[in-house]
């Protein structure tokens, strides 16, 4: 209830209009003009936000599966330590991590110097990964920052799901001369999908609403929807429009969550 009441208060605010010069006072009008205006003005940024979140989640899944598999089946007595190393970055501030990325992705930073020494600048520019030979202030930088933030939320549910996989199944697959790819696609992947679904939910929601990484890593051309809400509220002093845009974002995230939950329920085995 403590969370629900503030959220519900956004509904009448989103249907109001500012009546003072600085937008600090509003009057309820019951009109949908704010929604129409924010959808027209910020529709592309909404799409960009979910695209960045989806790409970061996809990259996170690619990185999380080998990490989770190593922890589960190769960690042995080191499993608690490995799990702690995965969780450790999430104990630091989002701001600190974003600032650390700015150093790594700077024009004279170690990552770009490595790419230059390998002669990969031109190919990566052709693929759109770099822009004018830079990593900072690009979509790539934002996606990398988002990926590192959400990686623990993908790894931990996958490890929990893999804990339920009987190693005998993998041994049986090995006895049948199944290769590593076959063992993964036929054993590990199907049995770990509940953990994957949970990880995607835990990752996609905060990624779509992230405000720190776009601000520090993306530059003015790669801002996400949370930055627009922040600008509407604190710079333009348009609280009704900020409330309308917030509710639109929440509605889209809720739809994504419901679709994922429905898919997860359909995959549950019948009793």
DSSP conformation class of 127: T
Concatenated DSSP letters for 170-227?
Answer: HHHHHHTT--HHHHIIIIIHHHHHHHHHHHHHHHHHHHHT--HHIIIII-GGG--HHH
The average confidence (pLDDT) of the chain is 86
Q: What percent of the chain has pLDDT over 70?
A: 94
What does the alpha-carbon distance between residue 244 and residue 249 come to, in Å, rounded to a whole number? 9
Concatenated DSSP letters for 10-28?
Answer: HHHHHTEEE-STTS--EEE
User: Residue 58 above 50 pLDDT?
Assistant: yes
Alpha-carbon dihedral angle through residues 53, 256, 90, 64, given to the nearest 10 degrees: -70
Task: Give the pair of three-digit tokens for residue 59.
Answer: 């990259």
Give 179's pLDDT tier (boundaries 50, 70, 90): confident
pTM score, two decimals? 0.88
- Containing domain of residue 170, as a range? 51-233
pLDDT tens, 152-172? 999 999 999 998 888 888 878
Q: What CATH number does residue 91 fall under? A: 1.10.3720.10
Of the two residues 17 and 245, the one the predictor is more confident about is 245
pLDDT tens, 80-104? 899 889 888 888 888 899 999 999 9
In a domain? residue 1: no
In a domain? residue 255: no
In a domain? residue 26: no
* CB distance 46 to 248 below 8 Å: yes
In a domain? residue 43: no
- The β-bridge partners of 16 are 28
What does the alpha-carbon distance between residue 70 and residue 32 come to, in Å, rounded to a whole number? 52
* CB distance 50 to 42 below 8 Å: no
Question: Phi and psi at residue 129, in whole multiples of 5°?
Answer: -75, -40
Radius of gyration (C-alpha) of the chain in whole angstroms = 22
Give 248's pLDDT tier (boundaries 50, 70, 90): very high
In a domain? residue 228: yes
In a domain? residue 42: no
Rounded to 10 deg, the angle between the 239-267 and 4-14 helix axes is 130
Give 31's pLDDT tier (boundaries 50, 70, 90): confident
User: Residue 270 above 60 pLDDT?
Assistant: no
What does the alpha-carbon distance between residue 123 and residue 248 come to, in Å, rounded to a whole number? 38
* CB distance 207 to 146 below 8 Å: yes
Angle at 17 between CA 13 and CA 23, to 5 degrees: 90
User: Residue 56 above 80 pLDDT?
Assistant: yes
In a domain? residue 120: yes
Q: What's the number of domains the chain is made of?
A: 1
* CB distance 159 to 68 below 8 Å: yes
What does the alpha-carbon distance between residue 213 and residue 258 come to, in Å, rounded to a whole number? 26
In a domain? residue 268: no
* CB distance 49 to 256 below 8 Å: no
Give 266's pLDDT tier (boundaries 50, 70, 90): low
For residue 140, the surrounding DSSP H or E stretch is helix 139-163
């Amino acid at each position: 209830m403590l969370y629900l009441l503030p959220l519900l208060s956004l509904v009448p605010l989103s249907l109001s209009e500012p009546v003072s010069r600085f937008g600090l006072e509003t009057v309820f009008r019951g009109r949908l003009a704010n929604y129409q205006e924010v959808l027209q003005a910020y529709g592309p940024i909404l799409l960009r936000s979910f695209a960045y979140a989806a790409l970061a989640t996809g990259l996170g899944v690619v990185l999380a599966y080998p990490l989770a598999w190593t922890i589960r089946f190769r960690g042995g007595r080191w499993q608690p330590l490995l799990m702690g190393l995965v969780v450790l970055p999430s104990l630091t501030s989002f701001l600190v991590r974003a600032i650390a990325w700015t150093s790594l992705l700077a024009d004279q930073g170690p990552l770009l110097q490595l790419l230059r020494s390998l002669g990969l600048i031109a190919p990566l520019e052709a693929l759109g990964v770099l822009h004018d030979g830079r990593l900072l202030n690009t979509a790539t930088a934002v996606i990398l920052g988002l990926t590192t933030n959400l990686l623990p939320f993908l790894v931990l549910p996958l490890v929990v799901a893999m804990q339920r996989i009987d190693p005998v199944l993998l041994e049986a697959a090995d006895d049948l001369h199944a290769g590593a790819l076959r063992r993964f696609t036929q054993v590990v992947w199907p049995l770990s999908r509940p953990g994957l679904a949970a990880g995607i939910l835990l990752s996609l929601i905060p990624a779509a609403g992230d405000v720190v990484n776009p601000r520090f890593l993306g530059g003015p051309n790669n801002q996400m929807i949370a930055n627009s809400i922040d600008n509407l509220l604190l710079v333009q002093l348009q609280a009704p429009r900020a409330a309308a845009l917030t509710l639109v974002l929440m509605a889209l995230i809720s739809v994504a969550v419901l679709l994922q939950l429905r898919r997860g329920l359909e995959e549950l085995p019948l009793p």
